[in-house]
Amino acid sequence: MFEPVPSHTSVSLGTQKVRVAVLVSGNGSNLQSIIDHIEEGKLNASIACVISNREDAFALERAKKHQLPSFYLNHRSFSDRRSFDAAVLEIVREHSAELVVLAGFNRILSTVLLDAFPLAILNIHPALLPAFPGNHAQRLALQHGVKIAGCTVHFVDPGTDTGPIIAQAAVPVLDGDTEETLSRRILREEHRLYPGVIRLFTEGRIRVEGRRVFISPGEQDSSEYLENPRF
Ligand code: GAR
């Protein structure tokens, strides 16, 4: 079911400024939060390029506003997934990116990209994986009736939202929630979690053993449980 990942792999880039390629398809609020963290000096990174597979993605406007190299590649004009990924890879390489960050990018990656960036492609997903992978995660969480929802940052593998989990944040599902209100609550956490994980990456603090990801030195919430509702 899961693709095997190398064991005992340590990702370490030291303290240098990490060049990040951001792949987007939509609004780009996660891209914005990464830009803001960089501009506020909270992330030792720079955005090497922004690539969208949708011409009307507002994320492209955000990139232009911040004078970031931005590109639109129409996936429909490529004969298959691998040739689209090869074009993405060319741009990513031309801009010397070391980390690839999927921020609302709605395409599955082929091995063309995955093999070029082993354990250096991240994704954010609006659910507590492995629950609700794929599209409409917030809607499915509501329909299922879960009491705690959230978001996950994980390494990308060939599956749909199946790669090793790096970090998760939880939010309560409230009685009056709609897909929109729940999505907004989750997004607020995404905007905190994603830059946080990128920072860990830039600090070389992420270690992967099989499917388990460890952060050094430990910076974890040791409270014994999260609950919703509270008793
Ligand atoms: C975010 O909620 C992200 O987690 C989700 O799309 C939204 C993009 O928002 N990604 C997925 O569902 C991927 N399976 P944004 O464009 O405002 O960053």
pTM: 0.93
The CB of 168 under 6 Å from ligand 1? The reply is no
pLDDT in tens, 160-192: 999 999 999 999 999 999 999 999 999 999 999
* Burial of residue 51 (number of CB atoms within 10 Å: 0-12, 13-18, 19+): buried
Give the residue whose CA is nearest to atom 7 of ligand 1.
Answer: 104
Q: Looking at the annotation, which residues are catalytic?
A: 125
Give the residue whose CA is nearest to atom 12 of ligand 1.
Answer: 125
Return the beta strands (E) in 25-145 as ranges: 45-52, 70-72, 99-102, 121-125
Return the beta strands (E) in 53-203 as ranges: 70-72, 99-102, 121-125, 148-155, 165-172
Q: Dihedral (C-alpha) 183, 185, 187, 189: value to the nearest 10 degrees?
A: -150
Residue 152 carries which side chain, given as an amino acid letter?
T
The CB of 125 under 6 Å from ligand 1? The reply is yes
> How far is Cα 209 from Cα 228, in angstroms, rounded to an integer?
32
pLDDT digit string (tens) for the chain, length 231 residues: 344 444 434 344 455 699 999 999 999 999 999 999 999 999 999 999 999 999 999 999 999 999 999 999 999 999 999 999 999 999 999 999 999 999 999 999 999 999 999 999 999 999 999 999 999 999 999 999 999 999 999 999 999 999 999 999 999 999 999 999 999 999 999 999 999 999 999 999 999 999 999 999 866 777 888 888 888
Number of the ligand 1 atom closest to the C-alpha atom of 125: 4
Domains in the chain: ranges and CATH: 10-225 (3.40.50.170)
What spacing in Å lies between the alpha carbon of 231 and ligand 1's midpoint?
32
The CB of 195 under 6 Å from ligand 1? The reply is no
